Amino acid sequence: MKSIKAIIVGVAMGLLCSPVFAQGIYDIGVHDPVMIQEGDTYYLYCTGRGITVYSSKDLKSWKHEPKVFDAPPQWAKETVTDFTGHIWAPDISFYDGKYYLYYSVSSFAKNTSAIGLVTNVTLDPNNPNYQWEDQGMILQSVPYRDMWNAIDPNIIVDEEGYPWMAFGSFWDGMKAVKLIPNRTAIAEPQEWKTIARRERSFELDDKNPGDAAIEAPFIFQKDTNYYLFVSWDYCCRGEKSTYKVVVGRSDEATGPFVDREGTPMNEGGGMLVVEGNDRWAGVGHNSAYTFGETDYLVFHGYDMAQEGHPKLIIKEIEWSDDGWPKQVKLED
């Protein structure tokens, strides 16, 4: 029989070795959260002036960190003339010894938009090597030239090791474009795909975002499958927000993605993952990660109990036997 001391030591070691598990609602104001782990710290990046940053040791207690930009990038001010430093929908990844943070600059409700890149060798502001280096613009959309919007970037690597950028908002849907191996420019000859879309009213002017309310693509790999999450309907309206998240699946990184019923996502398909309720006006713009052995859905929601204040929500992804994420239930 094991001694009491041995049992206590075993339990303690199990706690130390077990992956972090945290899910819940956190009272920090976020839009469009993305996350990454460096060492024993999780870093969260989200929409805000200069890009808002939080850190956590346990995915529960969050600490404000310095914003990424003290001043707007000069190229961004020249590209989007009414840009004032409010940067949208970042995406964070690690490649070749550096952290790659893609970000969006835009005029609201216009596709006068661009996606830029900033890199750093560490995410720890106390590290002497901490310094964000702006790599400039990667992609730009222009009214009347492009029927897509260059915001909401997300990087996925295909089966051959090539990086692709998924992005988009409204207009004619979510796009994916192939990048060069170091992820700093579009590859030539160019390869583009429409990975998800909803039907847009034909009579609308091309510069109008339209009524095909879809945005925020995020591609998550699990085993041999790739899952494309997108947000439907409307964000950023507080108590009147109608955001929800849907998903499709493919055995290739850039699709084609289909929902559980077999409808292609580029033909309006999407299986519901999470939607609002009496407490939450709308929930969406998600990212998805595996930390330890647990898969997480990270998103924001508009809290009706606090006049539509946006909050961070983290939920464990539970999977069906046939490999689909189960619908997430929110607290009332």
Catalytic positions are 32, 215
> Where does residue 220 rank: exposed (0-12), middle (13-18), buried (19+ CB within 10 A)?
buried
Tokens of 4: 């009491």
CA 297 to chain centroid, in Å, comes to: 10
Around Cβ 18, how many Cβ atoms within 10 Å? 11
SS3 content of the chain, % helix, strand, coil (to 5): 10, 45, 50
φ, ψ at 85 (rounded to 5°): 110, -5
Q: Are 192 and 176 in contact (CB under 8 A)?
A: yes
What torsion do the CA atoms of 47, 133, 229, 80 make, to the nearest 10 degrees?
60
Q: Are 311 and 304 in contact (CB under 8 A)?
A: no
> Distance of CA 2 to CAs 8, 12, 16, 17, 212, Å?
10, 15, 20, 20, 63
Tokens of 94: 């690690």
* Complete DSSP assignment for 202-215: TTS-TTS--S--EE
Q: Are 38 and 123 in contact (CB under 8 A)?
A: yes
Sheet with 244-250, edge to edge strand ranges? 214-222, 225-232, 244-250, 271-275
* Three-class secondary structure of residue 76 per DSSP: helix
